[in-house]
Structure 1
Amino acid sequence: MLGLVVIGCGQVERSSLPGGLVATDITVTQVPTNSSPLFVKVADFNGDGQLELIASDRTNNKLQIVSNAELSEISLSNSPGQCAVGDFVGDSRPDLAVALRDGSSVLIFDHGDSTQSSSVAVGTSPQALGAVDLDGDGRTDLVVGNVSSNDVTVLWGQAGGGLGSPLTFACGASPVQVLVQDVDADGKADILVSNFDSGSVSCFRNGGSRNFTLAQTLAVGQSPFGLTAADFNGDGKLDLAVANEADGNLTRWLGGEGGLFEQAQTIPAGAKPDCLVPWDVNQDGFLDLLVTLEDEGGVAILSGDGQGNFARTQLVLTNGGPVDIQLVSLDGVNQQAVTANFFGQGLSLLTPFVKKAVSSEMTKDPNDFRAPR
């Protein structure tokens, strides 16, 4: 049985908040995994009705799985990248896919069973994964970003089960993250790729016949890593935010006509932003952004104003330098965020409590959110 440790809760780090926002306390709960995970995935991959937290431990070549407060491990042949969950073997049960970062394959665990696995060949140094039905045939397809071969592999779900008929197309240099969403609202999921060494995002349009065309290449900052898409300004179109690791900022693009992005804006974030998720943390009706800051040892909250603008209003310290972040509702009611603390230890759960009123003189207590040493 795992012991969950409450680290603390913190206050707003600015003397006042833009737009009359309310203040949010965040309780941080440590989920020990005996590792320093780089990525985390949230899914019910064993079909028991309970969500699992799956941590990619690149240091020890393992997956560490937290399920019902119990910790289990799956040993791998080399360093894991991201995980994805879907019915990859065609038995109507969720399976677990993991990219093997030091090779050229993705490993599929049948129903999450570590004793029943198969592998599929992809490009060199696969890291990023996305699982979705791309061609509308009712079967789960797998999107893979291959860091060293600078390309994307799409593996199509087969009628008899399994993944096959790979489609590979070039992108920018070092595709470290993929985002699979319907950008142009045509009912088909498109593919966005952050190219770490190119300083760009490649936007591939789904043609609907198992083909993708490059619709747009977006110039962002240096070393883009995480990316997320949501309607930030309430106009019904998907907008895009990208974390630029080397610049300490985000690039935000608004959605335009035909699924193209326009009106780029640079938003300060903090030291070495890696991954980000949209979430109305302060419950004011506008989406905010939660951004992991590897070199600040915590998560920055960038409060949104509903017009596509964001300003950093809070820093929540986790147990070490977080890289990945995902949203989760472990009890099916309350929303939380979970971080993978690669330069610290284990996972951290962030649970918000929104205050009804806030003083303009509120300041951050420097003792809040201190992780155990």
Structure 2
Amino acid sequence: MAPPPMSSDASELRYVVVVDMDNDTQLDIIVANYGTNNMGILFGYGNGAFLKQMMISTDSNSHPSCIAIGDFNDDTQLDIAVVNDGTTNTDIFLGFLDIISYPTGSAPFTVAVRDFNNDTQLDRAVVNGNDNDMSVLLGYGTFPLFLVVADFNNDNQLDIIVANRGSSNVSVLLGYGNGSFANQITYSTGSSPFSIAAGGFNNDNRLDVVVVNSYTNEVNILLATINTVLSINHAIYSVGVNPTSIVAGDVNNDSRLNIVVANYGSESVNIIMGNTDGSFTNQITYSTGAGSFPSSVTAADLNNDNTVVIVVTNQGTGRLGAFLGFGHGTFSIIILFSMKHGSDPFCVITGDSNDGRTLDFAVANNGTDS
């Protein structure tokens, strides 16, 4: 097999890194394609030949100019930092799946990765071409991803709880009601909490928290206590592979909160029925379809018939999926809805956006920035 071409006139290849990205002891190649606004990965066979280049978009007019490699979230897997000369940010790709952007100066051109402050976390130094300066981004290793806002200590002030994927914990920031917050309190979770939801799972008039742990394929229930915001002890329930999104709601009309989880890796959703004491039983699994890779889930009564509809974004197929509820905790097979070509739906939420009589849902699309 001959090595595939890495560059063309359109791609304007600007930077090349050689490293073993997939832990198969074979060297791979990562390139920054300035002209086509993407990053290319060529996995090596070890004999001088490579797989066809896998393209990962860095966004429109980004013009990636430099690449650096490191484990930025302490999961022992290599991640990729890409500097985008056309914008004012640096993108971090965690395991090819998750992209996080960080602001820099104007026209960032080169990046270097080192531990500059001796805290065992990798930091990044970026040279900004138009500003004649340099940005230093200190790494914390926490990689916060999702948050939930509510009054968790019953003082009538809004608080924030953040799921920190890199440090495998959640941060609780209690609000003062004036826009400021107390120093964070952290509570341990399972490995790599990815998404978070809140609800009263045990009917004690206090909000509890549930998180999905994407690497250990489980959900953790952190119940509220009288003396602390959350308990240090938590119940664990297994779900599908690589869960990425979670929502709490009453899906079977028994006045108890249930949990719905979207599993990116096993292409499914799990419904876990809740009891009055904060425990959960009777898990049901529904397929989202081959190649669907569901990235986000929401559940709500969308048509005022006292039955819940579960909606998922299927990132793999670029479609929305809906499971129609029958009112007693069971659902139809998935109904698929096409999106605009290249939309790449990533996240879905529900809320009232108009007249207050019916709930609506909104979808965030990575591919069309809409």
* TM-score, normalised with respect to structure 1: 0.59
Superposed CA offset, 1:193-215 (max 9, x none): 11111101110001133342233
Name whichever of 201-210 and 238-247 sits farther off: 201-210
Q: Which has the higher strand share?
A: 1
- Report the secondary structure of 1:157's partner residue: coil
- Report the secondary structure of 2:262's partner residue: strand
Superposed CA offset, 1:201-260 (max 9, x none): 110001133342233111001100111111111111111111111101111111113021
The 5-angstrom pairing of residues 1-373 of structure 1 reads 124-158=142-176, 161-213=179-231, 214-270=233-289, 271-281=292-302, 284-319=305-340, 320-333=343-356, 334-342=358-366, 344-347=367-370
Question: Whole-Å Cα distance in 1 between the matches of residues 188 and 328 of structure 2?
Answer: 34
> What root-mean-square deviation, in Å, do the aligned CA atoms of Structure 1 and Structure 2 show?
3.2
Question: Whole-Å Cα distance in 2 between the matches of residues 209 and 145 of structure 1?
Answer: 22
Larger relative contact order (Cα-Cα within 8 Å, sequence gap ≥ 6): 1
- Report the secondary structure of 1:310's partner residue: coil
Cα distance, 1:292 vs. partner?
0.9
Structure 2 runs not aligned, ≥5 long: 1-57, 63-86, 93-99, 104-120, 122-138
Superposed CA offset, 1:92-149 (max 9, x none): xxxxxxxx77699xxxxxxxxxxxxxxxx98611111111111011221110111111
Q: Return the letter of the residue paired with 2:333.
A: R
Q: Return the letter of the residue paired with 2:215.
A: D
Cα distance, 1:165 vs. partner?
2.7
Cα distance, 1:153–1:313 mapped onto 2, change above 3 Å: closer
Cα distance, 1:160–1:310 mapped onto 2, change above 3 Å: closer
- Contact map agreement 2:303 2:359 (CA 8 A) in 1: no
- Report the secondary structure of 1:186's partner residue: coil
- Contact map agreement 1:156 1:164 (CA 8 A) in 2: yes
Cα distance, 1:284–1:272 mapped onto 2, change above 3 Å: same
Cα distance, 1:212–1:285 mapped onto 2, change above 3 Å: closer
Question: Whole-Å Cα distance in 2 between the matches of residues 78 and 143 of structure 1?
Answer: 26
- Contact map agreement 1:101 1:127 (CA 8 A) in 2: no
Percent identical pairs in the alignment equals 23
Cα distance, 1:223–1:133 mapped onto 2, change above 3 Å: same
- Report the secondary structure of 1:257's partner residue: coil
Question: Whole-Å Cα distance in 1 between the matches of residues 296 and 177 of structure 2?
Answer: 35
* TM-score, normalised with respect to structure 2: 0.60
Q: Return the letter of the residue paired with 2:174.
A: W
- Contact map agreement 1:300 1:312 (CA 8 A) in 2: no
Cα distance, 1:126–1:313 mapped onto 2, change above 3 Å: closer
- Report the secondary structure of 1:206's partner residue: coil
Question: Whole-Å Cα distance in 1 between the matches of residues 197 and 173 of structure 2?
Answer: 15
- Contact map agreement 1:226 1:242 (CA 8 A) in 2: yes
In the other structure, the counterpart of 1:32 is none
Question: Whole-Å Cα distance in 2 between the matches of residues 259 and 241 of structure 1?
Answer: 15
Length, aligned pairs only: 246
Cα distance, 1:330 vs. partner?
2.6
In the other structure, the counterpart of 1:22 is none
Question: Whole-Å Cα distance in 1 between the matches of residues 102 and 228 of structure 2?
Answer: 28
- Contact map agreement 1:226 1:276 (CA 8 A) in 2: yes
- Contact map agreement 1:122 1:144 (CA 8 A) in 2: no
Cα distance, 1:338 vs. partner?
1.0
Cα distance, 1:284 vs. partner?
4.1
Cα distance, 1:78 vs. partner?
5.9
